[in-house]
Amino acid sequence: MIIHFILLGFSEQPQVEVILFVVVLISYLLTLLGNTAIILVSCLDCKLHTPMYFFLTNLSFLDLCFTTSIVPQLLWNLKGPAKTITPTGCAVQLYVSLSLGSTECVLLTIMAFDRYVAVCRPLNYTSIMHPSFCKASAGIAWLSGVGNTLIQGTITLRLPRCGHNHLHHFLCEVPAMIKLACVDIHANEVQLFVATLVLLLLPLALILISYGFIVQAVIKIKSVQAWRKALGTCGSHLLVVFLFFGTSSAIYIQPNRSYGHSQGKFLTLFYTVVTPTLNPLIYTLRNKDVKGALRRLLRREQNS
């Protein structure tokens, strides 16, 4: 029976661990601050009570939970010589991080559809993106993440490991966990590929198709102001999509090449720690509505 798992992480590069501890800690604090600010502003400012900011609030809450399921354990392992995690802790981290990561894939797809409707069918926007439809869409995103995790996570954790407990990674993640199995894992690799196809590549394809239609619509816009507004609202989301899907795809499409190598660990570090930090910065720095709402909220606090 395994008493604990050993997360080897970046232990082969002790000089890097010190730098990573500082970088990850700062990134985590910025993630907490930035995403909490977006949630508060979106909830408190009535001008942001729109479908776009409803989904953005879900994304910010998701990023808060996603990083919190990974970063505290990572910081603990980076700081000290003990790089262990209990089987229960490993299972919880696997279920939570996989569920939230899967949910983000679907949520970003729904956000792309929201931008498609806003740009390509503006006259029907309020009727299509009805509050009940938005809530149902967000619910489907969360349920799809949980459903994928219950299937994929449970199958992974039930694999016999024959006492193998050294994970060549800094978190308990499916591709790294199945490498510990002492049985043939071909079926698990096929199942992982199918899950990647459905929850990573399919959403990415749908997002690219949505933005293909958006580009066609933007080209036809004659007003420079409307053209800039369309690019401004879509540009932030598209940048977030490329940051998240670009790095996660590199890991999950070819896990055999990525895991066990420092390059794969740094890519995972990017989409689990860095991307959630950049998301609020991207949406605030490139979005006049959010910046205006922040200024109104600050003035309200100063006047009260």
Q: What is the pLDDT of residue 230?
A: 67
Radius of gyration of the chain (CA): 21
- Give me the pLDDT at residue 279, please: 84
> Measured between alpha carbons, how far is 228 from 261 in angstroms, rounded to an integer?
42
User: DSSP letter string over 142-202?
Assistant: HHHHHHHHHHHHHHHHTS--TT--EESSSS--HHHHHTT-SS--HHHHHHHHHHHIIIIIH
Stretches in the chain below the pLDDT threshold 50 = 258, 260
The DSSP bridge partners found for residue 5 are: 85
Return d(Cα 111, Cα 280) in angstroms, integer: 15
pLDDT tens, position by position, 38-57? 898 888 888 888 998 999 99
The pLDDT score that the predictor gives to residue 24 is 94
Please check whether residue 5 is in contact with residue 90, taking contact to mean a CB–CB distance below 8 angstroms. yes
Query: DSSP assignment of 195-225, as one string?
Result: HHIIIIIHHHHHHHHHHHHHHHHHHH---HH
Q: What share of residues in the chain are helix, strand, coil (percent, to 5)?
A: 80, 0, 20
Chain-centroid distance, C-alpha 248: 9
pTM over cut 0.85 = yes
pLDDT, position 188: 83
Percent of the chain beyond pLDDT 90? 37
